[in-house]
């Protein structure tokens, strides 16, 4: 493994089972220094974690559940959303390679959607030391060969459901490592504006008026911008602008 990348995935820790690859990675980072690019992957998570304190369900042995350890010490913590862009673009690059006919989108902040259904999620956790990002743990859950999803997973899809074939998990992990490395090196080389523009161009529902909620009321709006810090700026149908952090807004659906 590792022919396609210089450092991401050169060392892979494969675990039969673990509570969460992100929790495991955060645990080892507390105890010892770890080289950049180490990947932790498992066939089964017993307490897979998602965004906003949700759980991440994944049928054992069928999907990618992994965490990539990076050391973005060059990145100002106020711009850590650029890492979200790196991971979302990398994952959508891989999926677009495998499913070239499909519409691959990033749903702000970092869900990957294919033809309107969620195929992957990302959970990034940072270890900050004196206002510096010492480590970032990039957790990736990609639905691969799973074809049935629980009631709570309605609206989910997988590579197999879309591509009608079984995918090789080792090969996929190699592709993900290579793609993350490419996008991460883009960030490290200072090509931030390019990354931000590409992220914006791949956004789900960009330039389309859809229904959102701020959890007190619903309103129709379209995405105007994602700020460099990662806030979502919506333009409401009355022309006013509103800015939201991650947990402050939900997507309700397409306006009838």
Residues at the interface with ligand BTN (CB under 6 A): 20-22, 45, 48-51, 54, 56, 65-67, 111, 121-123, 139-141
d(CA 88, CA 192): 14
Least spacing, CB of residue 194 vs ligand BTN, in Å: 25
**Which C-beta is closer to ligand BTN: that of 50 or that of 235?**
50
d(CA 65, CA 246): 23
Least spacing, CB of residue 256 vs ligand BTN, in Å: 27
Least spacing, CB of residue 238 vs ligand BTN, in Å: 32
**Which C-beta is closer to ligand BTN: that of 16 or that of 101?**
16
- Which residue has the CB atom at the shortest distance from ligand BTN? 121
Least spacing, CB of residue 239 vs ligand BTN, in Å: 32
**Which C-beta is closer to ligand BTN: that of 72 or that of 121?**
121
d(CA 116, CA 75): 32
Helix (H, G, I), strand (E, B), or coil: what is residue 1?
Answer: coil
Least spacing, CB of residue 240 vs ligand BTN, in Å: 30
Least spacing, CB of residue 125 vs ligand BTN, in Å: 9
Q: How far is CA 83 from CA 56, 59, 90, 216, in A?
A: 21, 27, 10, 31
Check the CA dihedral 140-144-150-152 and report its sign: positive
**Which C-beta is closer to ligand BTN: that of 49 or that of 85?**
49
d(CA 118, CA 90): 16
Q: What are phi and psi of 142, to 5 degrees?
A: -125, 125
Structure tokens at 212: 């959102």
**Which C-beta is closer to ligand BTN: that of 55 or that of 194?**
55
- E strands present in 130-187: 132-142
**How deeply is 176 buried, as exposed, middle or buried, from its count of CB atoms within 10 A (0-12, 13-18, 19+)?**
buried
Least spacing, CB of residue 49 vs ligand BTN, in Å: 4
- H or E element that contains 213: strand 210-213
**Which C-beta is closer to ligand BTN: that of 66 or that of 69?**
66
**Which C-beta is closer to ligand BTN: that of 38 or that of 74?**
38
């Amino acid at each position: 493994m590792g022919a396609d990348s210089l450092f991401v995935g050169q060392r892979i820790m494969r675990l039969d089972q673990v509570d969460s690859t992100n929790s495991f990675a955060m645990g080892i980072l507390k105890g010892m220094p770890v080289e950049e690019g180490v990947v932790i992957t498992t066939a089964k998570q017993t307490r897979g974690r998602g965004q906003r304190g949700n759980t991440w369900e994944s049928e054992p042995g069928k999907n990618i559940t992994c965490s990539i350890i990076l050391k973005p010490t060059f990145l100002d913590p106020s711009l850590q959303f650029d890492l979200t862009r790196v991971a979302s673009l990398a994952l959508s690059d891989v999926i677009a390679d495998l499913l070239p006919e499909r519409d691959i989108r990033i749903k702000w902040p970092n869900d990957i959607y294919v033809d309107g259904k969620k195929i992957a999620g990302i959970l990034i956790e940072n270890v900050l030391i004196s206002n510096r990002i010492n480590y970032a743990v990039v957790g990736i859950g990609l639905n691969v060969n799973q074809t049935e999803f629980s009631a709570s997973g309605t609206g989910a899809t997988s590579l197999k459901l879309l591509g009608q074939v079984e995918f090789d998990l080792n090969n996929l992990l190699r592709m993900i490592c290579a793609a993350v490395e490419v996008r991460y090196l883009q960030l490290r080389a200072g090509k931030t504006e390019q990354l931000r523009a590409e992220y914006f161009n791949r956004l789900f529902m960009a330039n389309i008026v859809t229904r959102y909620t701020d959890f007190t009321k619903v309103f129709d709006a379209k995405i105007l911008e994602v700020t460099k810090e990662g806030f979502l700026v919506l333009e409401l149908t009355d022309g006013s602008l509103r800015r939201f952090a991650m947990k402050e807004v939900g997507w309700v659906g397409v306006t009838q």
